[in-house]
Amino acid sequence: MAGSGRHEFPEIGARHSRGYRWGPAGSDFRRPFPYGAGESDDAVTRKILIVEDDVSTASYLAKGLTEAGYAVESCGDGRDGLFLASEGIFDLIIADRMLPGLDGLAMVSAIRAAGLVTPVLILSALAAVDHRVDGLKAGADDYLCKPFSFAELSARVDALVRRSDRLASDPQKTKLSVGDLEIDLLARHVTRAGRPIALGGREFNLLEFLARHAGQVVTRTMMLEKIWNYHFDPGSNVVDVHIGRLRRKLEDGFGSPILHTVRGAGYRLAADG
């Protein structure tokens, strides 16, 4: 961002009811192939959801954050934002306060009521102290007023992501278990019934994602987005191939299955079948 690094919004009140996502042209909801996708089996690109109905603002944010190394998805409606946030695949949500469909604060409140702890940064032209207090009380982690400096926004985004990482690395949360399956997130070590299981980087990331959603159905789309950073169907069986390899390593030589196929839906990691 050249110049002063400050982005002015002369038409901050302009509203657009049409939703959008970044990516393949020709659709109402467009997603880009995210920055950094496929670079490393061990790297998991941080994903940010932007809920902003002003197209110029959303474009500016998406461009800057993508250049900073984040994978970005965007929509322009509060209801769409709540739906996407509920997928649980984002590391940060940036939301406008005045949104069509569902007000930004109502959206944040619903996210928190659903038990999601994804950090939320409110970005709004409503700058009074009471407005900021209301945003934080609704469940937002930070509140930045428009017009804003991208340098400041970027610093706040990095701080929120770092804070989330520190919470995730809490000693009480460094291990996941599903039945007799134990996953040490720091050592990237996996055992079942006390026996070590050797996994590749992508396999470990996939298992961690399944374990964080233990007992729930995880769709192929969710895995493509979180593990491979694909925001479209590549038309291949990459997920099924990796699941097959992971299942063999988790189940061969053990008494009971733990990685289950839910026909027509996806996969579920559970000890109870």
Residue 162 domain flag: yes
Per-residue model confidence as pLDDT tens digits over 80-137: 999 999 888 888 999 999 999 999 999 999 988 887 888 999 999 998 989 988 999 8
- How big is the CA angle at 153 (ends 148 and 155), to the nearest 5 degrees? 140
pLDDT band at 45 (very low <50, low <70, confident <90, very high): confident
Same domain flag for 54 and 145: yes
Range of the domain at 25: 6-168
Same domain flag for 216 and 187: yes
Phi first, then psi: give them for residue 253, nearest 5 degrees: 90, 0
Query: CATH code at 186?
Result: 1.10.10.10
Residue 195 domain flag: yes
Same domain flag for 135 and 205: no
Domain end, chosen from 168, 185, 220, is at: 168
Distant-in-sequence, close-in-space partners of 76: CB < 8 Å, separation ≥ 6: 16, 17, 18, 19, 20, 51, 52, 53, 55, 58, 99, 100
Same domain flag for 177 and 128: no
pLDDT band at 175 (very low <50, low <70, confident <90, very high): confident
Same domain flag for 123 and 198: no
Looking at residue 173, its pLDDT comes to: 63
Same domain flag for 115 and 195: no
Same domain flag for 25 and 88: yes
Same domain flag for 21 and 143: yes
Same domain flag for 28 and 112: yes
Percent of the chain with pLDDT over 90: 44
Same domain flag for 197 and 108: no
Domain end, chosen from 168, 190, 222, is at: 168
Same domain flag for 23 and 154: yes
Number of separate domains in the chain:
2
Residue 1 domain flag: no
Q: What is the DSSP string of the chain?
A: --TTSEE--TTTT----S---SSSTTSSS--PPPTTTTS-SS----EEEEE-S-HHHHHHHHHHHHHTT-EEEEES-HHHHHHHHTT---SEEEEESS-SSS-HHHHHHHHHHTT----EEEEES--SHHHHHHHHHTT-SEEEESSEEHHHHHHHHHHHHHHHHHHHT-GGGSEEEETTEEEETTTTEEEETTEEE---HHHHHHHHHHHHTTTS-EEHHHHHHHHS--SS--SS-HHHHHHHHHHHHHHTTSSS--EEEETTTEEEE-TT-
Same domain flag for 10 and 139: yes
Asked if residue 14 has pLDDT above 90, the reply is no
Domain end, chosen from 151, 168, 185, is at: 168
Residue 45 domain flag: yes
Query: CATH code at 25?
Result: 3.40.50.2300
